[in-house]
Amino acid sequence: MTTSATPPTTFIATPVRYSPEELDAVTYTPDGLVAAIIQDASDGTVLMLAWMNAESLVKTLETGRTWFWSRSRQEYWCKGETSGDRQYVRRISYDCDGDALLVAVDQEGAGACHTGNRSCFYRDFGGPSDALGASPS
């Protein structure tokens, strides 16, 4: 008996429409950055948090792929260009204060975390029982 493997899903980068007024609503830190929370569009899992400046936000909107500013390397990076774990933008929202972004993506590959995990948020304080509200004995 032979089994056929399911072909990998192919995602397409789609630019996101935006207006100058929307860009003006984003508030950046004194370093010119805004936090970008990256969430899986299919199931709501928070995948990662990264930083964008005005240029990487516009690149993300115009290309439909996530672009960030690396604080440590002081350079732009497009998620997945070296790992193959690319992100395809489906929606970008900004919060009520304009100082945080929520980017819903289709995640390609193994996941978003450089450790190989699907999400960067794979560790809980206190272990699983405390995370569920159990009292210590």
Percent of the chain with pLDDT over 90: 85
The answer on pLDDT for 132 being more than 50 is: no
Q: Which CATH number does the domain housing residue 63 bear?
A: 3.10.20.810
40-89 pLDDT per residue, tens: 999 999 999 999 999 999 999 999 999 999 999 999 999 999 999 999 99
Q: What pTM does this model have? A: 0.86
Q: Which domain holds residue 40?
A: 29-111
Among 45, 43, 46, 62, smallest CA distance to 54 is for 62
Cα–Cα distances (Å) from 61 to 13, 23, 51, 97, in that order, read 10, 10, 15, 20
The answer on pLDDT for 134 being more than 50 is: no
Q: Quick check: is 122 in a domain? A: no
